[in-house]
Amino acid sequence: MQESAKEWNISFAGCGFLMAYYCGVYCCLFERAQFLLKRVKRICGASSGALMGAILASKCCENLLEMSREARKGTLGAVHPSFNLLKIVRNFLNRDLPDDAHLLANGRLFVSLTRASDGTNVLVSEFDSKEDLIQALICSCFYPLYCGFVFPIICFQRYVDGALSDNMPFSSLRSTITVSPFSGESDISPYGNPFYFHDIYYKNVSIHINFINAHRVVIAFFPPEPEMCQNGYKDAFLFLKENGE
């Protein structure tokens, strides 16, 4: 990928705690392809992918792995009865997003939500305040049962995890760089051969059918070790190399 005047979109798949992979992707692009980050027109994501999008739009990536470190504390980690994922996410966003995060995100960040009443996908890209932005992200991350039973609300409508209706917004556009920690046909993703060359599409995300991806799906609900960050860096580097950067 050569530096040019072309504008790009970037879309992050929802992936739970595998979000650590995105930290490595960001570090690689920041170090080796800043021109690409500067020319991103739309930053899209569902669930944890939306969190990555908000962090990228607000340029506050310093503490990206903190949620995973917090979840690994204690014997049972994220499955401990006292663990409250959404509280950790909200505290992190309140502390680290700048006060004008909603202004930085308006028209640029597209958050995928699933309307609880009928399962319809809703893309939100306008936010009236920082709290409005944070509430949209909380809705996009709310996985039923895992996060609780009382669905969060925006404008009198209840929403749940955006990955349940569109896990990779704008993925069909050729100008969109797709990023996923599951091996498949995404532009930046781990290498992995599918069994019998089969893959599945889960809400617009290509996922190869293999044991490694099955393992990744399981650990998406449990905080992985930081080497996921290193894997993301490596795969982003390969993407840049293959595209001529």
Q: How do strand 8-12 and strand 40-46 relate by DSSP bridges?
A: parallel
Q: Say how far apart CA 9 and CA 25 lie, in whole Å.
A: 15
3-state helix, strand, coil in the chain (%, to 5): 40, 20, 40
Catalytic residue among 47, 48, 58, 140: 47
CB 10 within 8 A of CB 175: no
Name the catalytic one among 48, 58, 140, 161. Answer: 161
* CA pair distance 180, 48, nearest whole angstrom: 11
Query: Does residue 161 carry a catalytic annotation?
Result: yes
First to last CA, the chain: 5
Whether 99 is catalytic is no
Alpha-helical runs (H) found in the chain:
20-32, 34-38, 48-58, 66-71, 85-96, 101-105, 130-141, 211-219, 227-242
21 class by beta-carbon count within 10 Å (0-12 exposed, 13-18 middle, 19+ buried): buried
Name the residues annotated as catalytic. 47, 161
